Amino acid sequence: SLSDKVGRKPIIIVGLSILLVSCIILAFPIQVSPFSVVLIILIYIMHGFYLASVDPISRAYIADLAGKEKRGRAYGYYYFSVGFISMVEALVFGYIYEVFSYTWAFLYISVSLAICIVIFTVTDFSKIIKKAEM
């Protein structure tokens, strides 16, 4: 697979970056026109690339980092974190959407996602895991 050739982390970063671009596009008003239909289809395609590149590759990345003995626990931590953060982010997004506007809500998500991409890019998780095992 592609992630075996180029590495899992770069593909996850590209997938998250695609999601970031689609969120930035969604932050701005789209006028109804033939172009808007094409733009919405493009955003759906981008979201499909994001889903195809992040979730399965993340699971493989976790399996690589955790090893066979700790894989189950690592998946548990991962899915707990994803679920909890998704719940909190949905509440914050909804609040910003209702109180301010959808533009501010999508800009908030875009900034949050950009911060996550930077943190994920610069963090060497293998060193953190080795340190935790000591």
Predicted pLDDT of residue 100: 96
CA distance 22 to 45: 10
pTM score of the predicted model = 0.81
- 76 phi and psi angles, rounded to 5 deg: -60, -45
- DSSP structural state of residue 28: S
Residue 92: pLDDT over 90: yes
Residue 94: pLDDT over 90: yes
Two structure tokens written together for 87: 């719940």
Residue with token string 């809500």:
105
Residue 104: pLDDT over 90: yes
Please report which confidence band the pLDDT of residue 128 belongs to, taking 50, 70 and 90 as the band edges: low
CA distance 84 to 19: 20
CA angle 85, 87, 92 (to 5 degrees): 90
Q: Are 19 and 47 in contact (CB under 8 A)?
A: yes
Residue 9: pLDDT over 70: yes
Residue with token string 């895991």:
129
For residue 98, the tally of other CB atoms under 10 A from its CB is: 10
Q: Show the DSSP H helices in the chain as ranges.
A: 2-6, 8-26, 34-99, 102-122, 125-133
Per-residue pLDDT of 31-75, as tens digits, reads 878 888 888 889 889 988 888 888 889 888 888 888 788 888 888
Predicted pLDDT of residue 107: 95
- DSSP structural state of residue 36: H
CA distance 129 to 134: 9
